[in-house]
A and B are shown apart, each in its own frame.
Chain A
Amino acid sequence: MRSAEASGFAGRRWTRRGLLRTAAVTAVAVPLAAPAIAACTAQQPPSAPDPLTALVTAAESDARAAQAAAAAFPDNAATLNVVASVRQQHAAALRAEVNRANTTPTTSGSPTTETTGTSAPPAPASEGAAMSQLTGNLRTAQQQAAGLVPTLPRYRAGLVGSVSAGCASVLEALGA
């Protein structure tokens, strides 16, 4: 423990010196690069959809399906409402990140907002069918999120990792 701290401290001095050097170079580089960056962002918005948008859509869809199932099968409503709540929280957290990343001063109307009043999915024929559909969707959502984790920027990797683990947690709670 102590030796780890000692080597960490020595490393930090080097890092700080390195940082100062980097800062000096950056101060020169930024004015040259800034116009190019501004030009890029001005042209880019329509071309690349945010990879998290698909996760938002899936979470919203799962939440609606769980709510519909809770209404159709009151005996299991408590469990199904927990599933709906978890997926709503996923949708909200992901949507906040999509909006944060895609809100630029020049564009308006692009941030996604909560979709309300979208047609409810058809009610499943039985409680068993509803549960197996929900657990199937949760497994897909867990994998979909996990698949993005290796390539996302750091903050997003943590967020999407938590969403994936949250789906696994709900599946465990359902005994699935």
Chain B
Amino acid sequence: MSGTMATDTASALQQALGTEYAAIWVCGLASAFAGGGVTPELAAAQTTHQARRDAVQRLLTDAGQTPALAQPAYVLPQPVNSQASALAMLAVAEADATVAWRAVLERTDDAGLRQTALTALTDSAVRETRWRRLAGISPASVPMPGQPS
């Protein structure tokens, strides 16, 4: 299907794609520090973000847009050198994804795309909470995921 997509919708989706790339990269980095029960959670997170990356790339391509490319690496706001700092970084990556996916909700009227965005927003909010809980951050819950601060 080759359709059209409003500029603001496409731009919001490109942003969301960027946060998915970053989340995949952070999952890879975190795997070096993850042990015990974290490893399967991390693998599940990576699989989910990869699937979402593929889905967004397809959405953009089908709408005649060129999906943005992943960065080769990302600047970390804090050094990652332990499981706790890796978990905190994973939580930040998920938080970035929630902001981007809420922005998609606010930039489309398409019910299908809104469902996709809500599913991604909710999934990233749940994972952010899980990483925060495992990192010992209290409270672990996020009241309004994706709300720009």
Contact between chains at B141 and A158 (CB < 8 Å):
no
| A98, CB-defined interface residue at 8 Å | no
Contact between chains at A164 and B118 (CB < 8 Å):
yes
User: Which of B129, B141, B144 has the largest number of chain A CB atoms within 10 A?
Assistant: B141
| A3, CB-defined interface residue at 8 Å | yes
A146 to B114, CA, bound (A): 10
A86-B105 contact, Cβ under 8 Å, with A3-B66, A157-B114: no
> B140: which A residues are within 8 A, CB to CB?
172-173
| A53, CB-defined interface residue at 8 Å | no
User: Interface size on B (CB < 8 Å)?
Assistant: 40
Contact between chains at A150 and B115 (CB < 8 Å):
yes
Q: Which of A46-66 contact B (CB under 8 A)?
A: none
Contact between chains at B139 and A162 (CB < 8 Å):
no
A154-B106 contact, Cβ under 8 Å, with A161-B117, A162-B146, A172-B141: yes
Determine the residue in chain B with the shortest Cβ distance to A174: B141
- 6 A-B contact pairs sorted by A residue (CB < 8 Å): A3-B66, A89-B143, A146-B122, A161-B102, A162-B102, A165-B146
Which A positions have Cβ atoms within 8 angstroms of B?
1, 3-4, 7-8, 11-12, 15, 82, 85-86, 89-90, 93, 142, 146, 149-151, 154-155, 157-158, 161-166, 168-170, 172-173
Which B positions have Cβ atoms within 8 angstroms of A?
7, 10-11, 14, 65-69, 98, 102-103, 105-109, 111, 114-115, 117-118, 121-122, 124-126, 128-130, 133, 139-147
